[in-house]
C-alpha cells in the first residue's frame, strides 16, 4: 500500500517535472524554413499588406543583418574566435549579443542552425574565391532581419509577458482575418518599443552591448529638455513615412535634422609689425539639431558629421579653411579607443545634442591683397563605408576696399 502511494507520487512528480521542463525549454529549430513556419517571414504578409510590405522592403530593417555584415563578421572572427575568454563560451549567447537586435528570431535557433548562420556570416563577410558559396550564404542571411513578426509579435508585448501565438498586435486592433488573430496594444506607439533595440542590450551573462545610443540621448537629452515627440511620430507618421523608417541613409531626413545658419562679418585687422590693415572675418556657424536624439548615431564610431568652413579669394584659390567633426568615440576599460561595439565601455560624446544649437566661432585672417572673399560652409554626413550625404550648404560674400 505504502509503495503504491509512493509510486504514484513519483509518477505525479515525474509528469509535473516533464511538463515544467517542456514549458521552460523554448522550441528551437534546425533550419530557417522551420523557424519561418512558426514565425512567418515578411513575404507571407505581402499578399494582404502589400503597401506596407513594399515600404518595409525599402527600409534598413529589411536588411538588418546584411547591412551590418562587416561589423558582425569581425565580431565573430576577432571578437569571438581570437578572444580566449569568449572562444570557450557557448556560441549562441555570444552571437545573440549582436543578433538579439539584428535578427531576433535567432532566439529560436538550435545550436546547429546557430553554427550554420555563423558559417554563413563568415562566408558572406570574408574574402573567398567561392562566388557560389558567398551567394548562397547571402541568400540564407537575407532571411534574418527585423521582420514584420519581430515588431508585431515578438517585441510587441512589454516584458516580462509573452506574445500569444498566431496573434498580430496592432494599434487599432480591429478587423479580422483567418490568417491571424488581432490584438490591440498601445505599446507599439510608445518610444520605449523602439528603444528595446535602439539602446543597450543586456545579455543573460550580464554583458552589456552598446551599439546604437539613440535611446539614451532620446531620454536623457531630448525628453529631459522638454521634447515630447515619439520615434513613431517622426519616423512613421510624419510625411506618411510609414514603414520606410528613414534615417541617416535618406537625404530628406538628414536635411530635416539639421538647420544651418551662418553669419560672417568683414573686418580689417592690423598686423603687429608694419601696422598694415589686413582683411579678416568673424564667422559664426550655428547648427541646430531638430531630431529627437544626438546626431550622428550608428554603431558608435561608424558615422560622422563633418563641418567645413572654406574661404576662397581671387581666382577661386582657397585662402583659409577650418573643419570640425561631430561623432562619438568609444573607449575600452584600458583607455584605448575602440572601433568595436563589443569592447566599448565608455563613450566620449562629440555629437550634436538634440533641442540645442551648437555654435562654432572663427576668426579668419586673409592675405592682404584680397578684395572679395567667398565663404562656404558645408555639413556632410559620412557613413562608415565612406558613403557621404551633403546635408547643407551656406554661402556668404565679404567685400574689402
Rule CB under 6 A: choose which of 257, 312, 358, 392 binds ligand HEC: 257
Nearest to 268 by CA among 391, 398, 126, 360: 398
Q: Is 144 in the site for ligand HEC (CB under 6 A)?
A: no
For residues 245 and 50, give the distance between their C-alpha atoms in angstroms, rounded to a whole number. Answer: 16
Residue with nearest beta carbon to ligand HEC: 170
Q: Is 245 in the site for ligand HEC (CB under 6 A)?
A: yes
For residues 294 and 210, give the distance between their C-alpha atoms in angstroms, rounded to a whole number. Answer: 15
Q: Is 297 in the site for ligand HEC (CB under 6 A)?
A: yes
Closest CB to ligand HEC among residues 75, 320: 75
CB of 263 to ligand HEC, least distance (A): 24
Q: Is 191 in the site for ligand HEC (CB under 6 A)?
A: yes
Nearest to 239 by CA among 222, 229, 252: 252
- Please provide the distance, in angstroms rounded to a whole number, between the alpha carbons at the two ends of the chain: 117
Enumerate residues 14-73 that contact ligand HEC by CB under 6 A. 40, 42, 44-45, 47-49, 52-53, 56, 60-61, 64, 67-68, 71-72
Enumerate residues 343-382 that contact ligand HEC by CB under 6 A. none
Rule CB under 6 A: choose which of 120, 146, 266, 319 binds ligand HEC: 146
Enumerate residues 75-94 that contact ligand HEC by CB under 6 A. 75
Q: Is 392 in the site for ligand HEC (CB under 6 A)?
A: no
Q: Is 304 in the site for ligand HEC (CB under 6 A)?
A: no
Q: Are 298 and 383 in contact (CB under 8 A)?
A: yes
Q: Is 273 in the site for ligand HEC (CB under 6 A)?
A: no
DSSP conformation class of 77:
I
Grid cell for residue 243: 514603414
Alpha helices in 40-110 (DSSP H): 43-46, 50-57, 69-74, 84-87, 91-102
CB of 294 to ligand HEC, least distance (A): 8
For residues 331 and 204, give the distance between their C-alpha atoms in angstroms, rounded to a whole number. Answer: 23
Sole residue written with cell 540564407 = 140
The SS3 call for residue 209 is strand
Closest CB to ligand HEC among residues 258, 309: 258
Neighbour tally for 87: CB within 10 Å: 12
Q: Is 108 in the site for ligand HEC (CB under 6 A)?
A: no
- Residue 253 half-sphere exposure toward CB, CA atoms < 13 A: 18
Q: Which stretch binds ligand HEC (CB under 6 A): 99-107, 113-121, 259-267, 318-326?
A: 99-107
How many residues contact ligand HEC, by CB under 6 A?
Answer: 88
Closest CB to ligand HEC among residues 92, 102: 102
For residues 117 and 128, give the distance between their C-alpha atoms in angstroms, rounded to a whole number. Answer: 17
Rule CB under 6 A: choose which of 92, 109, 212, 241 binds ligand HEC: 212
Amino acid at each position: 500500500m505504502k509503495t503504491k502511494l509512493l509510486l504514484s507520487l513519483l509518477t505525479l512528480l515525474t509528469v509535473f517535472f516533464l511538463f515544467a521542463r517542456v514549458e521552460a525549454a523554448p522550441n528551437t529549430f534546425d533550419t530557417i524554413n522551420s523557424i519561418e513556419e512558426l514565425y512567418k517571414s515578411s513575404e507571407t504578409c505581402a499578399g494582404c499588406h502589400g503597401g506596407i510590405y513594399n515600404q518595409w522592403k525599402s527600409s534598413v530593417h529589411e536588411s538588418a543583418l546584411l547591412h551590418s555584415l562587416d561589423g558582425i563578421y569581425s565580431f565573430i572572427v576577432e571578437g569571438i574566435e581570437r578572444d580566449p575568454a569568449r572562444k570557450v563560451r557557448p556560441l549562441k549567447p555570444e552571437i545573440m549579443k549582436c543578433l538579439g537586435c539584428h535578427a531576433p528570431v535567432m532566439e529560436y535557433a538550435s545550436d546547429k542552425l546557430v553554427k550554420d548562420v555563423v558559417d554563413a556570416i563568415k562566408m558572406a563577410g570574408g574574402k573567398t574565391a567561392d562566388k557560389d558559396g558567398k551567394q548562397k550564404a547571402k541568400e540564407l542571411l537575407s532571411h534574418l532581419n527585423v521582420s514584420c513578426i519581430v515588431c508585431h509579435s515578438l517585441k510587441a508585448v512589454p516584458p516580462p509577458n509573452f506574445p500569444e501565438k498566431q496573434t498580430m498586435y496592432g494599434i487599432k486592433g480591429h478587423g479580422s482575418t483567418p490568417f491571424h488573430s488581432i490584438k490591440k496594444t498601445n505599446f507599439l506607439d510608445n518610444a520605449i518599443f523602439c528603444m528595446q533595440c535602439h539602446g543597450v542590450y543586456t545579455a543573460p551573462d550580464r554583458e552589456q552591448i552598446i551599439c546604437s545610443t539613440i535611446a539614451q540621448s532620446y531620454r536623457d537629452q531630448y525628453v529631459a529638455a522638454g521634447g515630447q515627440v515619439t520615434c513613431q511620430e517622426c519616423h512613421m507618421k510624419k510625411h506618411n513615412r510609414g514603414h520606410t523608417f528613414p534615417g541617416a541613409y535618406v537625404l530628406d531626413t538628414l536635411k530635416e535634422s539639421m538647420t544651418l545658419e551662418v553669419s560672417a562679418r568683414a573686418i580689417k585687422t592690423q598686423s603687429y609689425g608694419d601696422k598694415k590693415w589686413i582683411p579678416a572675418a568673424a564667422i559664426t556657424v550655428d547648427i541646430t539639431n531638430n531630431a529627437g536624439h544626438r546626431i550622428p548615431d550608428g554603431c558608435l564610431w561608424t558615422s560622422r558629421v563633418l563641418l567645413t568652413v572654406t574661404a576662397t579669394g581671387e581666382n577661386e584659390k582657397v585662402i583659409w579653411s577650418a573643419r570640425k567633426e561631430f561623432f562619438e568615440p568609444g573607449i575600452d576599460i584600458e583607455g584605448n579607443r575602440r572601433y568595436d561595439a563589443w569592447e566599448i565601455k565608455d563613450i566620449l560624446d562629440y555629437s550634436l545634442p538634440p533641442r540645442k544649437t551648437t555654435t562654432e566661432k572663427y576668426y579668419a585672417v586673409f592675405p592682404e591683397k584680397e578684395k572679395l572673399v567667398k565663404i562656404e560652409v558645408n555639413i556632410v554626413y559620412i557613413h562608415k563605408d565612406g558613403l557621404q550625404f551633403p546635408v547643407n550648404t551656406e554661402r556668404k560674400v565679404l567685400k574689402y576696399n
